[in-house]
């Protein structure tokens, strides 16, 4: 049968038998004139919809029902029919394509007919008829603008069919596990044929691509939205099938780790940890310390970014780190090294670590994405304003387990020095944890610091030094309707510097006295959460009135007050993202029977390069998963190969004991 006649039979046949009729031996003696078909003929029950139809996959529980399984196979059958029609359209549109390409396409069409017939028969056996499920025409819409055979290879063989390696293998295993060997065998047949289809496409791609470009560069450059390499894989990448198809390990790594939005403009996450310093001193720019922290810890934003989002990192994380992060079930967005990499792309909201007068300048190549800084936001960062809110909140709550509204905002040097002599802590209005604050009594250098702070700001915040026993933070989202998010437990040094957090079920690790205190003498397990909700109700509208929106963290602590315990519910307000907020994203990843400790290690104290040091840690405690969650071991949450100042490590214990590494 002539290829042209076979293609027209598939395109113009109005019934499934027309489309499924086997052509016999194929020849290409009369390819005919080029023709473009707006859409193929189909039986009415499978006609393309007037509105977009989104394929939805059933839940595991739903698949226990044979009808739901049949509906799933209906979707697969439609994909095979679409592939058959797209291949036929390619033969009609490009009659001058190389004969070897055209004949190969004809042979592939015969295999697609067999796959389609198999799906139709199996779904019928499960009680589902053709047309029982609305069909999706996405593949046709994406391929109707193909410009030539190479475009077909890129879109079909190397994108949709490559992705089908993952999907068919996944569903083959699912159907086998649920006791449906007939469907599993059909999917295995499709999977093995698909390897051959992809192999053939890859062979032609290598022959036809620009020799000046690498294979990956040619592939990525050849795809246009809504296609990208992200469309060429499923949720779990089938490395074995791709190796059999002829891909190199490097290509498979790139596919596995590739992240780019499939349609919606991605949010862009940017790490500017010096935002509070920039609020206080915009004329100075980001400090060297802040830039060093940004270099190392920017990848942590992957913890809260979606896979379709972008994270700006001064240096790209290595493939090894990214794969480990992905295998741990954590986020894997797209990483770029600067905003300039996104200058020609449509992007969505810029999400900085925190607002500041300089954040817009630092990410200037990005189009404007709303207001990044307003001067009337400054009070949200002012420790004196937070002190006033704390006083209001404590008077409003008036509960005996909470601290008294002690402390003051002072303008008089003598009064500040008198408070310092009593051992009180003195904070500059825009201080950050461990910096721009002093605990009395004051030495000469401290007096000089105080003079500068009063000269610059006019006043400072003073309050008693407390014997802290537990640091926590409440987290909320500020918007038109503010939302309480959760509670994080974190650790600090005696000087107040942040050391790390305790993700997971941290409350279950507390000693009995502290646990009873937080739970209202064991009578109110929700007391702490209820307080967080009250803080959200109190503080959220005040921040929103200033124009603040997004993530906010409120530092709090439990301290010894003589023989009893007290809670200071609003020590600091952080109108930005925080490590505590990132830590909350780790909570659901830790198995309920395990406990987590997230530590931030200064590189200077490791005694070896971060990569060498962490390799030893990992050799002793390799990461293990249970039920898809982290159960034991350790994970570097930023890249040891690129860290120069800080290495962050998540330790997970299967028991309540702390691993020695967690305190090093």
Summarised one tens digit per residue, pLDDT across range 615-657 is 999 999 999 999 889 999 999 999 999 999 999 999 999 864 4
Reply yes or no on whether the pLDDT at 473 is more than 70: yes
> What is the phi/psi pair of residue 355, to 5°?
-70, 150
For residue 235, the model assigns a pLDDT of: 80
Joined together, the tokens standing for residue 369 give 């994405």
Contacts of 534 (CB under 8 A, 6+ apart): 397
Contacts of 420 (CB under 8 A, 6+ apart): 426, 438, 439, 440, 441, 442, 446, 462
Q: How confident is the model over 386-437, as pLDDT tens digits?
A: 999 999 999 999 999 999 999 999 999 999 999 999 999 999 998 765 567 8
Confidence of residue 225 (pLDDT cuts 50, 70, 90): confident
For residue 365, the model assigns a pLDDT of: 64
For residue 617, the model assigns a pLDDT of: 95
- Pick from 154, 73, 161: nearest CA to 111: 161
Q: What is the DSSP letter of 661?
A: G
What mean pLDDT comes out for the span 199-220? 93
Contact of 440 with 422, CB cutoff 8 Å:
yes
Its pTM surpasses 0.85 = no
Angle at 640 between CA 636 and CA 642, to 5 degrees: 135
Q: Rounded to whole angstroms, how far apart are CA atoms 317 and 327?
A: 15
For residue 602, the model assigns a pLDDT of: 95
For residue 367, the model assigns a pLDDT of: 59
- Pick from 523, 662, 517: nearest CA to 600: 662
For residue 434, the model assigns a pLDDT of: 56
Confidence of residue 50 (pLDDT cuts 50, 70, 90): confident
Reply yes or no on whether the pLDDT at 368 is more than 70: no
Contact of 22 with 110, CB cutoff 8 Å:
yes
Hey, is 500 helix, strand or coil?
A: strand
Contact of 392 with 430, CB cutoff 8 Å:
no
Q: Rounded to whole angstroms, how far apart are CA atoms 192 and 203?
A: 17
Cα(first)–Cα(last) distance of the chain, in Å? 74
Contact of 209 with 137, CB cutoff 8 Å:
no
Q: Rounded to whole angstroms, how far apart are CA atoms 626 and 4?
A: 55
What mean pLDDT comes out for the span 575-581? 96
Q: How confident is the model over 305-361, as pLDDT tens digits?
A: 988 899 999 999 998 899 888 889 887 888 999 888 887 778 888 899 999 988 877
All structural domains of the chain, each given as residue ranges with its CATH number in brackets, are 3-45+66-257 (1.20.1260.10), 268-373 (no CATH), 590-664 (no CATH)
What mean pLDDT comes out for the span 440-469? 92
Q: Which of 195-199, 232-236, 318-322 has the highest mean pLDDT?
A: 195-199
Concatenating the DSSP letter of every residue in 583-639 gives HHHHGGGB-TT-EEEEEEEEGGGSSS-HHHHHHHHHHHS--EEETTEEEEEEEESS-
Angle at 487 between CA 485 and CA 491, to 5 degrees: 140
Cα–Cα distance list, 120 to 67, 81, 107, 126, 136 (Å): 13, 11, 20, 10, 16
Q: Which of 107-121, 283-297, 454-468 has the lowest mean pLDDT?
A: 283-297
Mean pLDDT across the chain: 90
For residue 326, the model assigns a pLDDT of: 85
Portion of the chain with pLDDT greater than 90, in percent: 67
Q: How confident is the model over 474-492, as pLDDT tens digits?
A: 999 999 999 999 999 999 8
Confidence of residue 227 (pLDDT cuts 50, 70, 90): confident
For residue 628, the model assigns a pLDDT of: 87
Portion of the chain with pLDDT greater than 70, in percent: 95
For residue 661, the model assigns a pLDDT of: 38
Reply yes or no on whether the pLDDT at 242 is more than 60: yes
Strand-pair category, 550-561 with 564-574: antiparallel
Contact of 323 with 307, CB cutoff 8 Å:
no
What mean pLDDT comes out for the span 437-444? 89
């Amino acid at each position: 049968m002539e290829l042209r006649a076979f293609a027209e039979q598939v395109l113009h046949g109005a019934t499934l038998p027309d489309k499924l009729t086997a052509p016999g031996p194929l020849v290409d003696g009369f390819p005919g004139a080029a023709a473009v078909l707006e859409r193929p003929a189909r039986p009415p029950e499978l006609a393309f919809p007037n509105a977009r139809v989104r394929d939805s996959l059933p839940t595991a529980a739903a698949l226990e029902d044979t009808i739901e399984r049949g509906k799933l196979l209906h979707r697969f059958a439609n994909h095979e029919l679409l592939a058959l029609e797209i291949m036929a359209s390619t033969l009609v549109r490009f009659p001058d394509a190389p004969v070897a390409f055209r004949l190969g396409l004809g042979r592939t069409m015969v295999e697609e007919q067999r796959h389609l017939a198999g799906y139709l028969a199996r779904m019928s056996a499960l009680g589902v008829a053709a047309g029982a499920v609305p069909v999706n025409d996405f593949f046709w819409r994406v391929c109707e603008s193909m410009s030539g055979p190479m475009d077909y290879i890129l879109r079909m063989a190397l994108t949709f069919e490559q992705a089908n390696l993952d999907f068919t293998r996944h569903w083959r295993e699912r159907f086998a596990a649920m006791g449906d060997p007939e469907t599993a065998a059909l999917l295995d047949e499709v999977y093995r044929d698909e390897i051959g289809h992809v192999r053939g496409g890859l062979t032609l791609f290598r022959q036809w691509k620009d020799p000046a470009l690498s294979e990956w560069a040619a592939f990525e450059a050849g795809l246009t939205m809504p296609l990208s390499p992200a469309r060429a894989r499923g949720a779990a990448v089938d490395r074995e099938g791709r190796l059999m198809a002829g891909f190199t390990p490097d290509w498979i790594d790139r596919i596995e780790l590739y992240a780019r939005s499939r349609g919606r403009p991605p949010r862009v996450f940017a790490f500017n940890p010096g935002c509070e310093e920039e609020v206080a001193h915009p004329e100075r720019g980001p400090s060297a310390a802040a830039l060093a922290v940004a270099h190392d810890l920017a990848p942590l934003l992957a913890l809260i970014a979606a896979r379709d989002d972008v994270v700006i990192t001064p240096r790209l994380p290595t493939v090894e780190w990214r794969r480990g992060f992905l295998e741990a079930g954590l986020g894997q967005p797209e990483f770029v090294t600067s905003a300039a990499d996104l200058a020609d792309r449509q992007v969505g909201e810029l999400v900085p670590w925190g607002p500041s007068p300089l954040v817009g300048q630092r990410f200037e190549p990005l189009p404007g994405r709303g207001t990044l800084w307003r001067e009337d936001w400054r009070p949200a960062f002012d420790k004196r304003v937070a002190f006033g809110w704390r006083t209001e909140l404590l008077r409003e709550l008036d509960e005996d387990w909470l601290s008294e509204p002690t402390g003051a905002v002072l303008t008089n040097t003598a009064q500040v020095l008198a408070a310092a002599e009593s051992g009180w802590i003195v904070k500059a209005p825009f201080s950050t944890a461990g910096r721009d604050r002093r605990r009395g009594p004051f030495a000469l250098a401290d007096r000089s610091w105080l003079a500068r702070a009063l000269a610059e700001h006019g006043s400072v915040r003073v309050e008693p030094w407390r014997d802290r026993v537990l640091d926590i933070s409440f987290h909320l989202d500020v918007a038109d309707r503010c939302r309480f998010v959760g509670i994080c437990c974190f650790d600090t040094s005696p000087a107040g510097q942040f050391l790390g957090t305790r993700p997971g079920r941290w409350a279950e690790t507390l000693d009995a006295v502290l646990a009873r205190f937080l739970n209202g003498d064991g009578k109110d397990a929700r007391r702490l959460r209820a307080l967080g909700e009250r803080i959200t109700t109190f503080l959220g509208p005040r921040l929103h009135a200033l124009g603040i929106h997004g993530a906010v963290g409120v530092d709090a602590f439990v301290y010894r007050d003589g023989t009893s315990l007290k809670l200071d519910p609003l020590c600091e307000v952080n109108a930005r993202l925080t490590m505590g907020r990132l830590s909350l994203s780790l909570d659901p990843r830790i198995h309920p029977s395990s406990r987590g400790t997230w530590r931030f290690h200064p590189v200077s104290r490791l005694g070896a390069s971060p990569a060498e040091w962490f390799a030893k840690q990992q050799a002793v405690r390799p990461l293990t998963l249970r039920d898809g969650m982290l159960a034991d071991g350790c994970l570097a949450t930023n890249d040891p190969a690129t860290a120069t100042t800080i290495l962050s490590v998540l330790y997970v214990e299967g028991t309540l004991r702390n691993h020695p590494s967690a305190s090093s």
